[in-house]
Amino acid sequence: MSEDVDISVDFAGIRLANPVFTASGTCGYADELADFMDINQLGGFITKSITARPRKGQATPRIVETDAGMLNAIGLANVGLDKFIEEKLPILEKLTVPVFVNLAGETIREYVTVAERLATEQTIAGFELNISCPNVEKGGITFGKDPQQVTEITSAVKKAVGEKILMVKLSPTVTDISVIARAAVEAGANALSLINTFTAMVIDIETRKPVLANKTGGLSGPAIKPIAVYLVNKVYKEVTKDQGIPILGIGGIRTASDAIEFIIAGASAVGVGTANFIEPGCAVKIIEGIRKYCVSHNISNIKDLIGSLET
């Protein structure tokens, strides 16, 4: 077979040259990892969460390594909307790949304020609605646990972003993720991203205190990958497949094989998170690995791989 395989994907109406993003919060606003990889080689870029006002985030220590991953309790530290527009948007404007801005807030009004201010920006292809952050006192996961609140926030933000793509980011720590996914889709989500991190704790046995100042943090990295693959497949089968809604699969992706697992499970695209801290630039290698897999498995178009799980 020729090396000429098509790994471009249609993602809620926009064409991605390949299915690989970096995950929100692990690659800043694009310039942080610029020395390690050419962001324009990615399928798309997702910013760190933005809130209306600047946030300092949680006290330190706010990161701790675990056997197969890490806990973070950054607490949505970010520059806030005004500084984002002034300083970060010009960086994002230089990118040639679709840019998604991740939105967070303490109230629905705050999410809507940020969404409305950014909705007319040409540079922005769409938004990722973070209703799954486990490390903040107000907002975050609180919205993402209750289907009624998911409906309310998704429809309010969808109204604010108009024609732009709205992707809703789901938490794994819910009773049935499909109920939440369905609420988001029925309220107007154009895509879903999953998963965010799991609330977890590491204890220092000498002090008998939690290592993180916030006591708990979100577990990410290879440890969560099989759960993330399972949840992507569950949401794909039970909610998105019939409606043609794409999934961005996230959770512990380090290699092309990991990414391919998510695509077979039903993800149209994938996000690389924690792996950026271990090997910045690995996302670009993953793209090449996906292409090689398609060549060696006679897959001329990656679309044939999406949701191709044999059972």
Ligand X SMILES: Cc1cc2nc3c(=O)[nH]c(=O)nc-3n(C[C@H](O)[C@H](O)[C@H](O)COP(=O)(O)O)c2cc1C
Spatial neighbors of 151 by CB under 8 A, at least 6 apart, are 183, 184, 186, 187
Write the binding mask 261 to 280 for ligand X: x where contact by CB under 6 A, - elsewhere: -----------xxxx-----
Q: Could you say whether residue 88 binds ligand X (CB under 6 A)?
A: no
Count of other CB atoms within 10 angstroms of residue 202: 16
- Joined tokens for residue 270: 């994938």
Q: Could you say whether residue 161 binds ligand X (CB under 6 A)?
A: no
- Which CB sits closer to ligand X, 51 or 299? 51
In the complex, what is the shortest distance from the CB of residue 52 to ligand X, in angstroms, rounded to a whole number? 15
- Which CB sits closer to ligand X, 81 or 133? 133
Q: Could you say whether residue 51 binds ligand X (CB under 6 A)?
A: no
Active site residue 282: no
- The binder of ligand X chosen from 197, 233, 240, 268 (CB under 6 A): 197
Q: Could you say whether residue 251 binds ligand X (CB under 6 A)?
A: yes
- Which CB sits closer to ligand X, 57 or 188? 57
Q: Could you say whether residue 49 binds ligand X (CB under 6 A)?
A: yes
Q: Could you say whether residue 73 binds ligand X (CB under 6 A)?
A: no
Q: Could you say whether residue 139 binds ligand X (CB under 6 A)?
A: no
Which residues sit at the interface with ligand X, rule CB under 6 A? 23-26, 48-49, 72, 74, 76, 102, 130, 133, 169, 196-197, 220-221, 224, 250-253, 272-275
